[in-house]
Amino acid sequence: MIVTTTDSIAGKQVKETLGLVRGNTIRAKWFGKDIVAGLRQMVGGELKEYTEMLSEAREEAINRMIEDAKKLDADAIIGMRFITAEVMRGAAEILAYGTAVKLQ
């Protein structure tokens, strides 16, 4: 499945627009990682525990979006974007969305 943030794919033409597809996940901070990240924040540097958590969440959201597109028999997803929102203290939603299309 081709997934792109652009509105077109070089060398390909969109035959049919199938509609919006999306995938999301909600992740909460884990207490143990919170402590380690809090200590690291005091001395500076990357909060690797959160970087890892958010990277995994983005991948999960993308995979769920692709599964949504497969249900429509899409060849590609164009205009893919992410949105992040705090849903409660300590928990965030990652939403991946785009437009499912059939290619010629």
What pLDDT was estimated at residue 6?
97
What pLDDT was estimated at residue 44?
66
What pLDDT was estimated at residue 88?
84
Q: What angle do CA 95, 68, 77 make, to 5 degrees?
A: 75
What pLDDT was estimated at residue 50?
77
Q: Which of 56, 83, 72, 50 is nearest to 99 (CA)?
A: 72
CATH classification code of 2-103: 3.30.110.70
Contacts of 50 (CB under 8 A, 6+ apart): 29, 33, 37
* Count, residues in the chain: 104
Structure tokens at 96: 């991946």
**What element of type H or E holds 28?**
strand 14-28
* CA atoms within a 13 Å half-sphere pointing along the CA-CB vector of 16: 6
Q: What is the mean pLDDT of each run of 10 residues along the chain (104 residues)?
A: 96 97 88 55 69 90 98 98 88 94 97
Query: pTM (2 decimals)?
Result: 0.84
C-alpha separations of 15 from 10, 12, 30, 50, 74 in Å: 14, 9, 45, 40, 11
